[in-house]
Amino acid sequence: MHPILFRIPMPGWDLPIFGKVDSIPIYSYGVMLGLSLVVGWYLTLGLAKRDGLPRDTMANNYVITAISAVLGSRVLYVITDPGKFQSFGDFFSFRTGGLVAYGGFLGGYLASWAYLRWKKLRLLPWADVAVPSLASGLFVTRIGCYLYGCDFGRPLGEGAPGWLKTAGTFPHWPAGFVPEGEGSPAWIQHVNDGLVDAGADSSLPVHPTQIYESLVGLGLLVILLLARRRQRFRGQIFLYFTFGYAVCRFLLELVRADKERGVVPIHGSGQWLVAGALALFALGLTRILAVIERVALRRALSVLAFAPAVAAFFLYRPGAFVEAEIVSLSTSQFIALLTGLAAAAAFAVFHKAALAHPESAMALALPGGPATEVAVPEPGRVPRASDRDARVAARTRARIEAARALPPPEDEVAPKDEAIAPKDEEIAPKDEEIAPKDEEVAPKDEEVAPEVSAPAEPPPGPPEPAPHAGPTPKRKRRHKRRG
User: For residue range 396-445, what is the model confidence (pLDDT) as tens digits?
Assistant: 666 666 666 666 555 544 444 444 444 444 444 444 444 444 444 444 44
Q: Residue 143: which H helix or E strand, with range?
A: helix 123-148
User: How far apart (Å, rounded) are the C-alpha atoms in residues 319 and 328?
Assistant: 20
User: For residue range 432-450, what is the model confidence (pLDDT) as tens digits?
Assistant: 444 444 444 444 444 444 4
Long-range contacts of 372-375 (CB under 8 A, 24+ apart): 374/400, 375/50, 375/51, 375/52
Q: What percent of the chain has pLDDT over 70?
A: 69
User: How far apart (Å, rounded) are the C-alpha atoms in residues 138 and 157?
Assistant: 27
Q: What is the DSSP letter of 20?
A: E
Distances (CA, A) of 6 to 3, 23, 144, 179: 9, 10, 14, 15
pLDDT for res 453: 45
Q: Supply angle C-alpha 377, 383, 386, rounded to 5.
A: 150
One-letter amino acid at 131 equals: V
Q: Is it the case that residue 163 has pLDDT exceeding 90?
A: yes
pLDDT for res 479: 47
User: For residue range 306-350, what is the model confidence (pLDDT) as tens digits?
Assistant: 999 999 999 888 776 667 778 888 888 999 999 999 999 999 999
The DSSP result for 158-193, as a single string, is TTS-HHHHHHT--B-PPTTSBTTBSS-HHHHHHHHT
Strands 19-27 and 326-330: unpaired
**Who has greater pLDDT, 457 or 102?**
102
pLDDT for res 35: 93
pTM attached to this predicted model: 0.72
User: How far apart (Å, rounded) are the C-alpha atoms in residues 259 and 262?
Assistant: 7
Neighbouring C-beta atoms of residue 225, cutoff 10 Å: 14
Domain residue limits, the chain: 4-154+207-256
73, 110 Cβ separation under 8 angstroms? no
User: For residue range 235-262, what is the model confidence (pLDDT) as tens digits?
Assistant: 999 999 999 999 999 999 999 988 877 7
Return the CA Rg of the chain.
43
pLDDT for res 130: 94
Long-range contacts of 291-295 (CB under 8 A, 24+ apart): 291/230, 291/232, 291/351, 291/394, 293/388, 293/390, 293/391, 293/394
* Reported confidence tier of residue 70, pLDDT bands at 50, 70, 90: confident
User: How far apart (Å, rounded) are the C-alpha atoms in residues 88 and 445?
Assistant: 108
How does the average pLDDT of the chain come out, rounded? 78
User: How far apart (Å, rounded) are the C-alpha atoms in residues 141 and 331?
Assistant: 20
